[in-house]
Amino acid sequence: MHMEVLHVSPELATEWLTRNTSNRPLSKAAVQQLASRIQRGEWQLTHQGIAFDEDGVLIDGQHRLAAIAKAGITVPLTVTHGVPRTAFTVMDTGRKRTGRDALALAGEANATHLAAALRGLHLYLNAPNSSWSGGSSVTSNDQLLTRLDEHPGIRDALQHGVALNRACRITVTAATIGWYVTSEARPDIDQSAWKEGIVTGARLEPGDPRLTLRNTMLNLATGTSHRRRDDSREHLLYYLKAWNAWAEGRSIKLLRRSPNETMPQISKQAAAVPTLQDTA
């Protein structure tokens, strides 16, 4: 058995795929994810590559080769020849490194929640009105680290998100993104009263957006639909609706999502602390 590093072109990848005679079914979603990473320049040479057995049959790496062919870009790849056919059963049985793993290795605290918030922020910025689940929503570890570099304030926002989650069961992801994007868009507004109102619910009149958001989230948390309880995109939509009403000094007694409703834009109407919170 011997290994070498080769620059594998789309044409060579396509040729080698013809040797894939007894491998697991090809996942189109996995191929697309790898191809997208190649096209974004995220491909890196590692010890993980492709492998041929003693007879030249491809026994590992079909998704990498298919992704190279799909991306249409030549990349360096570790190629191993002469792997015993009996080794096939133990290939790809380890756990893949998650976004949480990548952030923890980078020294980030609360890496699990931070990874989820960064993924949600990435989707909010790139596809706010599409589904945040399924293959199209997969975010690579490199994309998460890039987003963190671009938006370092998400670390502070996460602390507020955790506190809001404890108070009213809104997902940490939705609360963190909501806090971050509204703070960035409206630095003229002190959000301490917004947070205090949601956390305590004290002295708030019916129709106060903070009380409405708090009650909506608590009602969802005790409902029977698991999807609604944990749907960060839906929670963020409610968060932004309520925040816009609060920022504009408007009363709002009901938060709901209409079919095909788009994610609200952050309100620019008020230039100072809203009057509604002053009278609450």
Give 133's pLDDT tier (boundaries 50, 70, 90).
Answer: confident
H or E stretch at 81:
strand 75-83
167 touches 199 (CB < 8 A): yes
63 touches 48 (CB < 8 A): no
Nearest residue to 193 via CA among 180, 202, 205: 202
Which of 73-77, 101-105, 123-127, 216-220 bottoms out in mean pLDDT, i.e. has the lowest? 101-105
Number of C-beta neighbours around residue 100 at 10 A: 18
* Residue partners of 230: CB distance under 8 A and separation at least 6: 171
Quote the tokens at residue 158.
């996460």
- The SS3 assignment for 269 reads coil
Which of 25-39, 93-107, 181-195, 245-259 bottoms out in mean pLDDT, i.e. has the lowest? 93-107
Distances in Å between the alpha carbon of 278 and those of 74, 86, 204, 272? 61, 73, 11, 11
Chain center to CA of 113: 10
CA distance linking residue 63 with residue 47, whole number of Å: 16
Spans of all domains in the chain: 2-90, 99-279
Handedness of CA 194, 213, 161, 123 (dihedral sign): negative
At residue 243, the pLDDT reads 97
Handedness of CA 170, 167, 243, 151 (dihedral sign): negative
Give 42's pLDDT tier (boundaries 50, 70, 90).
Answer: very high
CA distance linking residue 145 with residue 149, whole number of Å: 6
**What value does the mean pLDDT take over residues 177-203?**
96
270 touches 189 (CB < 8 A): yes
The answer to whether the predicted template modeling score (pTM) of the entire model surpasses 0.75 is no
Give 277's pLDDT tier (boundaries 50, 70, 90).
Answer: very low
Beta-bridge partners for 53: 83
Task: Report pLDDT digits (tens) over 5-40.
Answer: 999 999 999 999 999 886 667 888 889 989 999 999
Give 212's pLDDT tier (boundaries 50, 70, 90).
Answer: very high
Handedness of CA 120, 123, 125, 129 (dihedral sign): negative
